[in-house]
Amino acid sequence: MSNLSFRVALLAALPALLSLHGAKGDIDFTRDIRPILSEKCFRCHGPDEESRAGGLRLDEYATVLEERGGKKAIVPGSPAASELIARIKSDDPSRRMPLGGDRLGDRQIELLEEWVSAGAEYKRHWAYKKTEHPQPPPVSDIGWARNPIDRFILNKLSAAGLKPSAKAETAVLMRRLYLDLIGIPPLPEQIDDFLARPSDEAYLATVEELLESPQYGEHWARHWLDLARYADSNGYQHDDLREIWPYRDWVIQAFNDDMPFDQFTIEQLAGDLLPEPSLEQLVATGFNRNTPMNGSGGSKIDEVRNAMLVDRVNTTATVWLGITLGCAQCHTHKYDPFTIEEYYRFYAYFDQGVDETVLRGAGNTRKHYVGAQIEIPISPARQSQYAAVKAQHEFLKMVTNQAEFEAIADLPQWAERQLTNRDLPPLVMSALAKPKEERTESDNNAIRDAFLRTRSEVVERRKDLGRLSERMTTLAPTTTLIMADKPAPVRTYLLKRGQIGNHGKTVEPGVPATLHALGPGLPANRLGLAKWIVSPENPLMARVTVNRFWSEIFGRGIVASAEDFGRQGKAPTHPALLDWLAAEFAESGWSVKSIIRLIVTSSTYRQSSRGSAELQERDPDNTLLARGPRFRLSAEAIRDSLLAVSGLLSLKMGGPPVYPPQPEGLWKEISGVGDPNYPTSKEADRRRRGIYTILRRGAPYPGFTIFDAPPREACAAMRARTNSPLQALTLLNDPAYVEAAAALAKRVMDISAASDQDRLVYAFRRCVTRRPSEVELQELDRLLNEFRGTSENEAEAWISLARVLLNLDETITKS
Which residues ranging from 220 to 239 are in contact with another protein (CB under 8 A)?
235-237, 239
Q: Is 501 a residue that touches another protein (CB under 8 A)? A: no
> Minimum CB separation from another protein for residue 27, in Å?
23
187-206: which residues touch another protein (CB under 8 A)? none
Q: Please, which of residues 664-723 interact with another protein by CB under 8 A?
A: 664-665, 668-672, 675, 697-699, 702, 705-706, 708, 711, 713-714, 718-723
Looking at 13-21, 276-284, 468-476, 619-627, which segment touches another protein (CB under 8 A)? 619-627
Q: By C-beta, is 101 or 589 nearer to another protein?
A: 101
Beta bridge partners of 503: 495
- CB of 658 or CB of 706, closer to another protein: 706
* Greatest alpha-carbon span in the chain: 107
**Partners of 82 in the β-ladder:** 72
Pick the binder of another protein from 727, 760, 765, 769 (CB under 8 A): 727
Q: Which residues pair with 241 in a beta bridge?
A: 233
User: Which window, 409-417, 645-653, 678-686, 729-737, contacts another protein (CB under 8 A)?
Assistant: 729-737
Kindly write out the interface string for residues 796-815 of this chain, putting x where it contacts another protein by CB under 8 A and - elsewhere.
Answer: x---xx-xx--xxxx--x-x
* Residue 735 and residue 661 in contact, taking contact as beta carbons nearer than 8 Å: yes
Q: CB of 50: closest distance to another protein in angstroms?
A: 13
Shortest distance, position 35 Cβ to another protein, whole Å:
12
How many CA atoms lie within 13 Å of 672's alpha carbon, on the beta-carbon side?
Answer: 0
**241 three-state secondary structure:** strand
Residues 248-277 that bind another protein (CB under 8 A): none
Closest separation between CB of residue 419 and another protein, Å?
A: 18
Rg from Cα positions in the chain: 32
Name the minimum Å distance from CB 800 to another protein.
6
Q: How far is the CB of 334 from another protein (least distance, A)?
A: 8
Residue of 155, 215, 609, 634 that binds another protein (CB under 8 A): 609
Q: Give the residue, chosen from 278, 421, 440, 454, that forms a contact with another protein under the rule CB under 8 A.
A: 440
Nearer to another protein, 525 or 800 (CB): 800
| AA letter at 804 | V
Q: How near is the Cβ of 550 to another protein at its closest, in Å?
A: 14
Query: Which CB atom, from 275 or from 620, has the smaller least distance to another protein?
Result: 620
572 sits near another protein (criterion: CB under 8 A): no
Rounded least distance, CB 672 to another protein, Å: 3
Nearer to another protein, 278 or 722 (CB): 722
User: Which C-beta is closer to another protein: that of 37 or that of 283?
Assistant: 37
610 in Cβ contact with 627 (< 8 Å)? yes
φ/ψ of 662, rounded to 5, equals -140, 165
* Cα–Cα distance for residue pair 354/486, rounded to 1 Å: 5
Q: Which helix (H) or strand (E) holds 504?
A: strand 503-507
- State the minimum distance, in angstroms, from the CB of residue 362 to another protein: 5
Distance CA 268, CA 251 (A): 9
Chain positions 169 to 188 lying near another protein, rule: CB under 8 A, are none
Q: Is residue 787 within the footprint of another protein (CB under 8 A)?
A: yes
CB of 719 to another protein, least distance (A): 8
CA angle 479, 480, 483 (to 5 degrees): 135
Q: Of 28, 38, 31, which Cα lies nearest the Cα of 114?
A: 28
Residues 755-784 contacting another protein, CB under 8 A: 773, 775-776, 779, 783
- Of 67, 92, 416, 617, the one binding another protein (CB under 8 A) is 617
**Under 8 Å between Cβ of 352 and 486:** yes
Please answer whether residues 211 and 597 qualify as being in contact, where contact means their C-beta atoms are separated by less than 8 angstroms: yes
Torsions phi, psi of 375, nearest 5? -90, 135
Number of C-alpha atoms within 13 angstroms, CB side, residue 681? Answer: 17
State which residue, 520 or 672, has the beta carbon closest to another protein.
672
* 319 secondary structure, DSSP code: I
Torsions phi, psi of 494, nearest 5?
-70, 135
* Closest to 127 measured CA to CA, from 469, 512, 504, 476: 512
Nearest-angstrom CA–CA distance, 205 and 210: 9
Shortest spacing between CB 718 and another protein, in angstroms: 7
Beta partners for residue 233, in sequence order: 241
Q: What is the smallest separation between the CB atom of 454 and another protein, expressed in angstroms?
A: 22
Smallest distance from another protein to CB 709, Å: 9
Do residues 485 and 273 lie in contact, with contact meaning Cβ atoms separated by under 8 Å?
A: yes
Q: Among residues 301, 387, 726, 795, which is the contact residue for another protein, using CB under 8 A?
A: 726
Q: Looking only at residues 420 through 439 of this chain, which bind another protein when binding is defined by CB under 8 A?
A: 426, 430
Task: Write out the binding residues for another protein, residues 733-752 only, by CB under 8 A.
Answer: 733-735, 738
- Report d(CA 779, CA 674) in Å as an integer: 53
Long-range contacts of 809-813 (CB under 8 A, 24+ apart): 810/767, 810/768, 811/641, 811/642, 811/645, 811/767, 811/768, 812/632, 812/633, 812/638, 812/641, 812/642, 812/731, 813/630, 813/631, 813/632, 813/633
Total residues at interface with another protein (CB under 8 A): 106
**What is the C-alpha to C-alpha distance for residues 686 and 317, in angstroms, rounded to an integer?**
37
| Residues 344-373 close enough to bind another protein by CB under 8 A | 362-365
CA distance 288 to 353: 10
Stretch binding another protein (CB under 8 A), from 88-96, 375-383, 608-616, 754-762:
608-616
Q: Does 607 engage in binding with another protein (CB under 8 A)?
A: no
The single residue among 203, 493, 631, 762 that binds another protein, judged by CB under 8 A, is: 631
Looking at the Cβ atoms of 403 and 670, the one nearer to another protein is 670
- Interacting residue with another protein among 110, 508, 758, 786 (CB under 8 A): 786
Q: Least distance from C-beta 735 to another protein, angstroms?
A: 7
CB of 336 to another protein, least distance (A): 7
Give the C-alpha distances (Å, rounded to integers) separating 246 from 278, 283, 658, 695: 14, 7, 14, 14
Sites for another protein among residues 466-495 (CB under 8 A): none
| Residue 620 CB, nearest approach to another protein (Å) | 4
**493 DSSP β-pair partners:** 506
For 245, 344, 701, 731, the CA distances from 290, given in Å and listed in that order, are 10, 21, 18, 31
Q: Which of residues 272-331 bind another protein (CB under 8 A)?
A: 292, 294, 296-300, 307, 318, 324, 326-327
Q: Which is nearer to another protein, 362 or 419 (CB)?
A: 362
215 Cβ partners below 8 Å, 6+ apart? 182, 183, 184, 651, 689
Report d(CA 447, CA 468) in Å as an integer: 27
Which residue, among 44, 566, 570, has the nearest Cα to 324 in the 3D structure? 566
Would you say 146 or 167 has its CB closer to another protein? Answer: 167
| Stretch near another protein under the rule CB under 8 A, chosen from 72-80, 91-99, 346-354, 724-732 | 724-732
Binding pattern for the stretch 640-669 against another protein, x by CB under 8 A and - elsewhere:
-----------------------xxx--xx
Which CB sits closer to another protein, 266 or 325?
325
At 182, phi and psi to the nearest 5?
A: -125, -5
Which residue in the set 518, 732, 754, 777 belongs to the binding site for another protein (CB under 8 A)?
732
Q: Residue 728, interface with another protein (CB under 8 A)?
A: yes
Strand partners, 436: none
**Which residues, other chains included, contact 108 with Cβ-Cβ below 8 Å and sequence gap of 6+?**
36, 40
Q: Read out DSSP for 635-663?
A: HHHHHHHHHHHTT-------SS-B-----
CB nearer to another protein: give 279 or 307. 307
CB neighbours of residue 583 within 10 Å: 18
Q: How far is the CB of 433 from another protein (least distance, A)?
A: 12
